[in-house]
Chains A and B, each alone.
Chain A
Amino acid sequence: MEDPIKEEAELDQLVICPKCNTLYQKVPLPSGKCALCTQCGTILYRYDPSYLDRALSLAITGLILFVVANLFPLIRIDLLGNEQHMNIVESIRQLIENGYYIVAIGVLFMALIIPGMVLANYIVLIVLMRLGIGEALTRELLVLLSHLMPWSMVDIFLVSILVALVKLTGEVQIHFGVSFWALILYVGIDTYLTKARRIGTLWELRQRIYHG
């Protein structure tokens, strides 16, 4: 058996393609560049030293947009002078009122609680890493983030709004609320932070911050 510390350092120099499982040895990259899998073209890792600062400002902006998106109506509709409006919270309230508790819980978690937790988690994590403190806590937060991300579905909710509106075309008049545009911007930021960038990138930055 080899020295485990040395073995870990060697392992951290390897990367496996998430899509096709090809094994690679990492090479040093110039700033801002990324390494691609030669088999399937998936991004393997990147060197992006300014990522933390950018991610922090984006995550804070995202949180503000997410709060705005849930405070005001996303959509208003008009039927013969009668007006109704909805947002995510209102949808959940109506589902509960009609007795569809399981659907309500699904929407509550996938479109409200978990996306909010992902953003809050991201902000705390990046602040800690930026300050170079709380090494053990950042590990817990990164693990939690991995478990939360598959269940965050606001992007799908946004597409669903458009589908729902298509179903209503011709029946009612549709107006977009300020929250709708906030939600679009929020989804853009969320997609960049959690889908365009791999979680492995954050782990590598963490390694560099706490262990030189």
Chain B
Amino acid sequence: MAKKPSKRINVIRCPVCEAVNVDHGGAILCHRCDSHIYREPKHGIGRTWALLLTAMILYIPANLYPVLNINNIIDGHSGNTIMGGVILLWDQGSYPIAVIILMASVFVPILKFVLLLYLLISVRHPVSESKALRHKLYYLTEVIGPWSMVDVFVVSILTGLVKFDSFKILAGPGATAFVLMVFFTMMTALSFDPRLIREYPRKPSQKKEKNR
């Protein structure tokens, strides 16, 4: 059974080493790993906004341009956008794979944009009372975020593998935009200030742990 914390304190979790630190309100240096948990108020969220907008703009060419070019001696040349690839897989009857690609390449980035936008807006204009919800959303973006790389890796694998004289698969410009989009989306999530989504524990003493 858990003991009660000796007194009510404002604490924040270090995103680097997971140590609990006291939040005095100013700049915080983690007591365990010396990382900057929070620099100064003026550091603000401008950088996070810039990264997010860059990622969102890159999402447009990532979807408009082909991520994949197929050179086949019989069928000739054809380019595949992400949605085109999904539709092709669906027509071939590979429903689970079509759904995976659709989720990883289309829904995950959009969900991440929406979540990050929501988090950034709710910092200034609290939309919802629940900071616990914000925390769960943020955690979700961290876990699912990297999976949007699936399509880029698929393209790279096919480029490395299918290089016959009569049948070649090459990457397309959409793949470049897509890699950059994933990079900037991850940078946005990583630059997100943990204090912006922190929740002051109201009654920590009432929580108990169970052992397994």
Contact = CB atoms under 8 A, between A and B. Distances in A.
Contact of B210 (A10, A36, A98): A36
A147 B16 contact: yes
Contact of A198 (B18, B101, B155): B18
Interface in A28-66: 29-30, 33-40, 44
B35 A143 contact: yes
B18 A203 contact: yes
B161 A164 contact: yes
Interface stretch (B3-11, B40-48, B49-57, B113-121): B3-11
A25 B146 contact: no
Contacts of B60: none
Interface in B153-212: 153-167, 170-171, 175-176, 179-180, 182-183, 186, 190, 198-199, 201, 204, 207-212
A186 to B, nearest CB: 16
Contacts of B179: 102-103, 106
B160 A39 contact: no
A150 B186 contact: yes
B159 A35 contact: no
B153 A160 contact: yes
Given A142-B33, A160-B150, A16 B159 contact: no
Interface bracket on B: 35 or more
Contacts of B19: 11-12, 200, 203
B20 A14 contact: yes
Given A23-B201, A164-B161, A100 B175 contact: yes
B32 interface: yes
A23 B207 contact: yes
Interface string B74-117: 00000000000100010010100100110000000000000000
Contacts of A184: none
B119 to A, nearest CB: 14
Nearest to B172: A100
Contacts of B85: 167
B207 A39 contact: yes
A20 interface: yes
A187 to B, nearest CB: 13
A86 B161 contact: yes
B159 A91 contact: yes
Contacts of A98: 159, 170-171
Contacts of A4: 31
Interface of A: 4, 7-8, 10-12, 14-16, 18-27, 29-30, 33-40, 44, 75, 77, 79, 82, 84-87, 90-95, 98, 100, 102-104, 106-107, 110-111, 139, 142-143, 146-147, 150-151, 153, 156-157, 159-161, 163-164, 166-172, 198-200, 203, 207
Given A14-B20, A38-B208, A199-B17, 11 more contacts: A20-B132, A20-B135, A21-B199, A29-B211, A30-B211, A94-B163, A103-B176, A106-B152, A150-B186, A163-B101, A166-B97
CB-CB nearest 9 A-B residue pairs:
A91-B160, A160-B153, A200-B18, A86-B160, A86-B161, A106-B179, A23-B201, A16-B13, A14-B20
